[in-house]
């Protein structure tokens, strides 16, 4: 690969990193705390590429380029720019229903603390908003049953698998590569009409005793209402 192509590739890749960090698309890949590092890394790549281009231009003016009489096609090297341009122009979507179906739901990391300390009581209110991660943790590990009889509000995307309709979220520790699903089975069929990957907000009550190892810690929820919502800018839980 010629130096010119390398430098342009470096600038485009750095520019793509800065772009997704500023417009929020980086949240499809990593946690919010990584934004400053992505911006810094992208800016350094752009700077290095620009400095290299300027340096090569100065050298060429000082020392005329010698030709060996052989011509080489630059097309294969330029083709390497295509995936970088794709990321620069169109960011891939976040992980969704396919990832949930391929990866078995597991115990949320927050559940590990349940053996050492009891979950605090839920706040007062007719409807309590919870993350899916916390809801699943409480449903499977809270011996005090703080969810029982309480109406909660959950936000996630629809997954249809094995005749069930699930509400799902993907939890990440660092980036999308380590994502694992937490899921809630929706009873009653009210959400069956929505296509997979549709984002919904559900209010309802847990069915006690349904989040067990046999169900991959997927509790049942009896919905009182189901409404569609726009895809959130940050699709993951942490």
* Residue 189 pLDDT: 87
* Residue 116 pLDDT: 45
Tell me: the pLDDT tens digits for 131-152? 999 999 999 888 889 999 999 9
Q: What are the distances in angstroms from CA 26 to CA 30, 59, 86, 207?
A: 6, 37, 15, 36
What is the mean pLDDT of the segment spanning 26-53? 84
- Asked whether residue 109 carries a pLDDT value surpassing 80, the answer given is no
Candidate from 22-36, 37-51, 124-138 with smallest mean pLDDT: 22-36
Identify the residue with better confidence: 142 or 165: 165
What CA–CA distance (Å, rounded) separates 54 from 136?
56
Neighbours of 151 (CB within 10 A): 16
- Asked whether residue 107 carries a pLDDT value surpassing 70, the answer given is no
Q: What is the pTM of this model?
A: 0.75
From the CA atom positions of the chain, what is the Rg in Å?
25
Name the maximum alpha-carbon separation found in the chain: 83
């Amino acid at each position: 690969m010629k130096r010119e192509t390398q430098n342009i590739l470096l600038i485009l890749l750095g520019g793509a990193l800065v772009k997704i960090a500023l417009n929020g698309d980086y949240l499809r890949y990593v946690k919010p705390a990584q934004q400053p590092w992505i911006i810094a890394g992208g800016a350094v790549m752009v700077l290095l590429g620009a400095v290299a281009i300027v340096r090569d231009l100065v050298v060429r003016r000082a020392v005329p380029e010698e030709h060996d009489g052989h011509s080489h096609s630059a097309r294969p090297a330029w083709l390497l720019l295509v995936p970088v341009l794709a990321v620069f122009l169109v960011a891939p979507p976040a992980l969704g229903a396919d990832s949930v179906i391929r990866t078995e739901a597991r115990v949320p990391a927050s559940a590990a603390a349940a053996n050492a300390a009891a979950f605090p009581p839920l706040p007062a209110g007719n409807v309590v908003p919870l993350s899916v991660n916390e809801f699943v943790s409480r449903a499977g590990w809270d011996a005090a049953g703080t969810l029982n009889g309480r109406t909660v509000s959950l936000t996630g995307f629809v997954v249809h698998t094995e005749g069930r309709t699930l509400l799902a979220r993907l939890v990440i520790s660092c980036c999308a590569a380590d994502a694992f699903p937490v899921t809630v089975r929706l009873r009653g069929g009210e959400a069956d009409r929505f296509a997979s990957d549709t984002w919904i907000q559900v209010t309802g009550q847990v069915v006690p005793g349904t989040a067990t190892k046999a169900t991959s810690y997927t509790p049942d929820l009896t919905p009182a209402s189901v409404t569609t919502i726009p895809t959130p800018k940050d699709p993951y839980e942490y």
